């Protein structure tokens, strides 16, 4: 007698395995984010991107809390802030560079010199002017209009006796509006460039993770997608985050599927051993459209068992070289252990071949049954 079955497997701990993998991967990203923010702080760059730094720091703290409670929620937070965190140092350095190369220090020195020479005539107006500048906290916008500031100062103080405190405040207020518009446009340019560079860097990080954790066949497809993202970054930088997040999810899914299959392979291997079979070392077989693990086992009497475990959750097992229905005894020794001891949920049983011949006959064809794992 022989039977041919296919069944689907599912580990009771699949959710736990996935959560553990997501937690581990997300923690690695969180550590990178922490290092980036710490470096921004150590270099004194946070004052140039204060609002972004505070927002990202709060989101990263929230991510760390969610890692223990809900790793999948933590992964979503990680995906939403990753590109912004990688872009933050570039934004800060670009803004600081423009501030440092501006003429503000020369302007302040000249202002102080004139203040000293004309102290008795215009001390009050100079104090008003100085205070307005001190209250102008956006350094990028202020330095965007240094030339206009110098011209305005020269105009106002060429005949300071005819200038009032309100004249100074009004003139600086109007100039500040124009400066903030320029700074806004400049920040958009800086941010766009930084996001391009951050996307390229993030793609490189993901590429390394793909090579490190996935098989060559799986890695090839995702690497090709990454190349498409790199080509689109220059023309469509706003789409790069979404594409990189999707690739990251695909990578996590592939790693989780392989982790589940490894647990299934261990369960089958141990179940066959406990049933008295001599079990060969599992063998990974790959080819065109094929990715499965083979587990072959045999008894001294010549009975054989073969399990084929695929990534998509399909498990095909064959019991061969038995007399009549005697293979059912071994089947009942192996399969219940998979469920009761190792938490494998086999479902959708499909008998592909069966020969209920004479019980005294020795059947050479391989009985096989396929089952699938509930997703």
Residue 10 pLDDT greater than 90, yes or no = no
Q: How is the chain split into domains, by residue range?
A: 270-373
pTM for this entry: 0.46
- Residue 345, class by beta-carbon neighbours within 10 Å (0-12 exposed, 13-18 middle, 19+ buried)? middle
Residue 353 pLDDT greater than 70, yes or no = no
Q: What is the mean pLDDT of the chain?
A: 78
Q: What is the pLDDT of residue 5?
A: 67
CA–CA separation, 176 vs 95, rounded Å? 18
Buried b (16+ CB within 10 A) or exposed e, 249-265: ebbbebbbbbbbbebbb
217-258 confidence digits (pLDDT tens): 666 666 777 777 666 666 666 666 677 777 777 777 777 777
Q: Choose from 55-64, 123-132, 191-200, 346-355 the range with maximum mean pLDDT.
A: 55-64
Residue 126 pLDDT greater than 90, yes or no = no
Q: What is the pLDDT of residue 58?
A: 93
- From the list 173, 154, 164, the residue with the least C-alpha distance to 114 is 154
CA–CA separation, 341 vs 50, rounded Å? 55
Where is pLDDT greater, at 220 or 92? 92
Residue 307 pLDDT greater than 70, yes or no = yes
Q: Are 293 and 301 in contact (CB under 8 A)?
A: no
DSSP H helices, 214-326, are: 216-233, 237-274
Residue 3 pLDDT greater than 90, yes or no = no
Rg (CA), the chain: 34
- For residue 165, count other CB atoms closer than 10 A to its CB: 13
């Amino acid at each position: 007698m022989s039977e041919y079955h296919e069944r689907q497997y599912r580990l009771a701990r699949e959710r736990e395995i996935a959560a553990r993998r997501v937690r581990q991967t997300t923690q690695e990203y969180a550590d990178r984010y922490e290092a980036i923010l710490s470096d921004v702080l150590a270099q004194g760059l946070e004052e140039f991107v204060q609002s972004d730094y505070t927002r990202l720091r709060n989101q990263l703290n929230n991510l760390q809390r969610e890692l223990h409670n809900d790793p999948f929620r933590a992964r979503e937070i990680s995906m939403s802030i990753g590109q912004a965190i990688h872009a933050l140092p570039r934004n800060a350095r670009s803004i600081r560079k423009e501030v440092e190369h501006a003429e503000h220090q020369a302007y302040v020195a000249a202002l102080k010199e004139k203040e000293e020479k004309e102290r008795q005539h215009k001390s009050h107006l100079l104090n008003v002017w100085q205070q307005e500048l001190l209250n102008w906290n956006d350094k990028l916008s202020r330095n965007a209009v240094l030339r206009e500031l110098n011209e305005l100062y020269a105009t106002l103080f060429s005949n300071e006796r005819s200038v009032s405190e309100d004249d100074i405040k009004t003139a600086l207020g109007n100039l500040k509006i124009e400066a903030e518009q320029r700074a806004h446009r400049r920040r958009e340019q800086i941010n766009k460039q930084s996001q391009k560079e951050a996307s390229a860097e993030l793609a490189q990080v993901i590429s390394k993770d793909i090579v490190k954790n996935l098989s060559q066949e799986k890695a090839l497809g995702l690497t090709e997608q990454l190349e498409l993202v790199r080509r689109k970054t220059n023309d469509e930088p706003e789409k790069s985050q979404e594409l990189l997040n999707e690739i990251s999810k695909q990578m996590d899914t592939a790693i989780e599927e392989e982790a589940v299959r490894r647990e299934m392979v261990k369960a089958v291997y141990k179940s066959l051993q406990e049933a008295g079979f001599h079990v060969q070392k599992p063998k990974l077989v790959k080819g065109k459209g094929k990715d499965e693990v083979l587990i072959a086992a045999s008894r001294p009497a010549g009975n054989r068992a073969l399990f084929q475990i695929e990534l998509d959750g399909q498990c095909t097992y064959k019991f061969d070289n038995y007399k009549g229905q005697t293979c059912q005894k071994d089947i009942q020794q192996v399969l219940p252990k998979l469920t009761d001891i190792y938490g494998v949920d086999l479902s959708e049983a499909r008998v592909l071949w069966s020969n209920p011949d004479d019980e005294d006959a020795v059947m050479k064809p391989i009985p096989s049954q396929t089952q699938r794992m509930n997703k």
